[in-house]
């Protein structure tokens, strides 16, 4: 079996930690991690609950492949009702924290209630206790991790924590583990902060036992690793260039949203690209990139470790930022750079480090700055209101606004609302490039039609990781489709969405899907887990997870109206690139998508669909 069969329930109100047996019937129906934790959450909370109320719960969960020798098997998820989105939230992180949770003998931790004072959970194998965190409150994620490791006198303790963003109610606060890995999206860190939970520190020495058929598992994981190694993207592109390899590619095809989606190509993309990170700087003769890095058990190693130019204006008086640190990844580089028209690589790295240090989602933060810069250029926001000049392209403004948001100062409080609430506050809700209050990631939904449909229908708000049709529409994986065509995209998106549910729920990284299909994952799950995990079953479970999440959102009050894109994408055509003159075909694709899903025209899963899925 790939599960430890153990759940830790932490009641923060009462200050208790209680072990429970994992519901194996649910594990058989929802696999693990995203699917299984969502099943627990949905069974235990009122969908209409205020995300920041004690009645909301937050679950940290592993999958059956987490902590095993499956490549990338280090993932864990945080499942809750999202502070930013008011929808189901599931944020996924790599690093080493997830594997450590498994090594300590647990499948998941359910946090409920609210602690009367700041605490952190100390978990060492079977021993779990809540400890006072008054001395940690106010510290950054980096300081918190360092302090806990010193206190525990164990550098191998794995820590996840919130920083000032989560403490101060920034609505897109994330949870940082291993210094620069993040469960970043939808405000899961904000929920953690609302519970007065500062950190979780884990030391596990039990390893992973109970793989059902070890010889078969060894054979399946070895074969699957070879597929990753032999693939041009996972074997060469990602280790060499990281996800940033996409910057020039997406710019070329006119799908790189720029200046709050006013443009689809960025004239300075080359300056902030993966290639630029390899080049020697004229100032100090050193390359920005130091090395690549891998999360637990990963044979791809897409992570970037970089060092800033010590003479850059943002850090010249702050030596603490001169060391090697995580980033830049593609999404952060896009949101902090292209979305704001900022082509200063060092400024992006500084802003990215602050996001990691203080626990903020760089995608939502960067895109919110982009919306603020547009409001400034339109004269709706003034220098006096913001506290500085904030035109598109200003690296100085980006750096200052990051500091202000991370520490809750001045206009940073407005930026901490996210773009939807901020733009509504200043009378231009149409300028928020978001769905369900969550900001778009780094692909334009006009020049890549399938991803636009994906943003609109994603259960956790705009997201590329819920159905990455870019793989097919741009990279030809597993088959090439025309990015500008709308035909066939509902079927394509459904297939990606359902399959992603399995990757996430297994505890592996979705980047494997550049090379793996479900057929590569299936033998690994089947060998690890008891029961039937055939392709038919996996396809059914993936679809079941998607529909379960949908039902939660509908019960929370969301409707088909929330499956929409901002007017800009539907009325303002791409100005340049291969998609010049094109707008999103969402209004055509959405009804077809509902049909393909077996939903009513109102976007509600039909009775027959629910019955087929056992919901
Ligand atoms: S592919 Fe990248 S993000 Fe995914 S597990 Fe490996 S190093 Fe981590």
pLDDT digits over 137-159, tens only? Answer: 999 999 999 999 999 999 999 99
Residue 602, SS3 per DSSP: coil
pLDDT digits (tens, 9 = 90+) for 358-400: 999 999 999 999 999 999 999 999 999 999 999 999 999 999 9
Ligand 1 atom index nearest CA of 298: 6
**Encoding tokens for residue 97?**
């924290």
Measured from the Cα of 303, ligand 1's closest atom is 7
DSSP 287-306: BSEEEEE--TT-SS--EEEE
Residues 256-283, mean pLDDT to the nearest whole number: 97
Cβ atoms < 10 Å from Cβ of 581: 9
- Which of 300, 503, 504, 516 has the most ligand 1 atoms within 8 A of CB, as the residue to mutate? 300
Residue 295 Cα to ligand 1 midpoint, Å, equals 5
* Å from CA of 296 to ligand 1 middle: 8
Q: Whose CA is nearest to atom 2 of ligand 1?
A: 302
Residue 94 CA to ligand 1 center (angstroms) comes to 7
Q: Give the pLDDT confidence score for residue 2 in this predicted structure.
A: 86
Atom of ligand 1 lying closest to residue 75 CA: 5
- For residues 346 and 429, the answer to whether their CB atoms sit within 8 Å is no
Q: What's the chain's average pLDDT? A: 97
Two tokens at 176?
């940082």
Q: Is 536 exposed, middle or buried (0-12, 13-18, 19+ CB in 10 A)?
A: exposed
Nearest atom in ligand 1 to 299's CA: 6
* Average pLDDT value for residue range 169-184: 97
> Which of 92, 295, 326 gets mutated to test ligand 1 (max ligand atoms within 8 A of its CB)?
295
Question: Residues lining ligand 1, judged by CB closer than 6 Å?
Answer: 72, 94, 294-295, 298, 300-303, 509, 511
Distance, in Å, from the CA atom of 264 to the CA atom of 244, rounded to the nearest integer, reads: 17
Task: Give mean pLDDT, residues 461-486.
Answer: 94
Residue 80 Cα to ligand 1 middle (Å) = 23
In this model, does residue 1 exceed pLDDT 70? no
Residues 6+ apart with CB under 8 A from 151: none
Q: From the CA of 303, how far away is ligand 1's center (Å)?
A: 6
Predicted model pTM: 0.97
Atom of ligand 1 nearest to the CA of 95: 8
CA of 425 to the centre of ligand 1 (A): 38
- 184 C-alpha to ligand 1 centroid (Å): 15
Which residues, listed in sequence order, are joined to residue 21 by a DSSP beta bridge? Answer: 6
Sheet holding 175-177, edge to edge: 127-132, 119-124, 197-203, 158-161, 175-177, 181-183
User: Is the separation of the CB atoms in 287 and 279 below 8 Å?
Assistant: yes
Å from CA of 374 to ligand 1 middle: 34
pLDDT in tens, 246-256: 999 999 999 99
- State in Å: Cα 299 to ligand 1 middle: 8
Q: Which atom of ligand 1 is nearest to the CA of 234?
A: 1
612 alpha carbon to ligand 1 midpoint, in Å?
Answer: 35
Ligand 1 pocket, mutate which of 72, 183, 326 (most atoms under 8 A from CB): 72
pLDDT, tens digit, 9 for 90 and up, residues 204-221: 999 998 899 999 999 999
pLDDT recorded at residue 215? 97
């Amino acid at each position: 079996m790939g599960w430890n069969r153990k759940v830790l329930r932490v009641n923060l109100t009462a200050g208790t930690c209680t072990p429970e047996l994992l519901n194996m019937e649910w594990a058989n129906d929802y696999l693990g991690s995203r699917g299984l934790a969502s099943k627990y959450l949905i069974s235990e909370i009122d969908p209409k609950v205020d995300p920041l109320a004690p009645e909301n719960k937050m679950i940290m969960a592993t999958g059956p492949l987490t902590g095993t020798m499956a490549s990338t098997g280090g993932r864990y998820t945080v499942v809750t009702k999202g502070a930013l989105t008011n929808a189901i939230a599931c944020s996924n992180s790599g690093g080493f924290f997830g594997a450590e949770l498994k090594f300590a003998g647990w499948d998941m931790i359910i946090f409920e209630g609210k602690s009367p004072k700041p605490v952190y959970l100390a978990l060492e194998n079977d021993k779990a206790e809540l400890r006072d965190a008054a001395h940690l409150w106010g510290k950054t994620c980096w300081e918190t991790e360092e302090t806990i490791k010193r206190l525990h006198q164990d550098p191998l303790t794995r820590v996840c924590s919130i920083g000032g963003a989560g403490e101060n109610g920034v609505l897109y606060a994330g949870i940082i583990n291993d210094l620069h890995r993040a469960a970043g999206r939808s405000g899961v860190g904000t929920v953690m902060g609302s519970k007065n939970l500062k950190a979780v520190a884990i030391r596990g020495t039990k390893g992973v036992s109970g793989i059902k058929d070890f010889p078969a598992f060894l054979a399946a994981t070895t074969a699957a690793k070879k597929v990753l190694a032999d693939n041009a993207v996972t074997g060469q592109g990602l280790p060499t260039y990281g996800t940033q390899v996409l910057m020039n590619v997406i710019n070329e095809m006119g799908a790189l949203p720029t200046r709050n989606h006013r443009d689809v190509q960025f004239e300075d993309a080359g300056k902030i690209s993966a290639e630029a990170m390899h080049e020697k700087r004229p100032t100090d003769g050193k390359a920005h990139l130091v090395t690549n890095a891998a999360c637990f058990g990963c044979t791809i190693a897409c992570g970037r470790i970089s060092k800033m130019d010590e003479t850059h204006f943002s850090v010249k008086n702050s030596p603490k930022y001169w060391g090697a640190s995580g980033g830049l990844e593609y999404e952060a580089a896009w949101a902090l750079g292209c979305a704001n028209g900022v082509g200063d690589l060092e400024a992006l790295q500084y802003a990215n480090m602050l996001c990691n240090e203080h626990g903020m989602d760089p995608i939502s933060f960067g895109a919110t700055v982009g919306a603020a810069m547009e409001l400034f250029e339109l004269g709706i926001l003034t220098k006096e209101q913001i506290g500085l000049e904030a035109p598109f392209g200003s690296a100085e403004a980006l750096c200052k606004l990051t500091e202000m948001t991370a520490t809750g100062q001045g206009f940073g409080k407005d930026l901490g609302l996210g773009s939807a609430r901020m733009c509504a506050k200043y009378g231009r809700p149409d300028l928020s490039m978001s769905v369900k209050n969550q900001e778009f990631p780094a692909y334009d939904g006009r020049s890549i039609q399938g991803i636009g449909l994906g943003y609109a229908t994603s259960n956790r708000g705009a997201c590329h990781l819920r159905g990455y049709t870019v793989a097919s529409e741009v990279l030809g994986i597993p088959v090439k489709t025309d990015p500008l065509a709308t035909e066939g995209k509902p079927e394509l998106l459904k297939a990606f969405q359902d399959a992603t549910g399995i990757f996430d729920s297994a505890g592996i990284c979705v980047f494997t899907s550049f090379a793996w299909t479900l057929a590569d994952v299936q033998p690994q799950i089947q060998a690890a887990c008891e029961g039937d995990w055939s392709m038919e079953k996996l396809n059914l479970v993936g679809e079941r997870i998607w529909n379960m999440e949908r039902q939660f959102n509908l019960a929370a009050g969301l409707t088909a109206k929330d499956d929409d894109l901002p007017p800009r994408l539907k009325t303002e055509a791409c100005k340049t690139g291969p998609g010049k003159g094109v707008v999103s075909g969402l209004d055509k694709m959405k009804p077809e998508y509902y049909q393909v899903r077996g939903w009513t025209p109102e976007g509600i899963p039909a009775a027959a669909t629910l019955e087929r899925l056992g919901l």
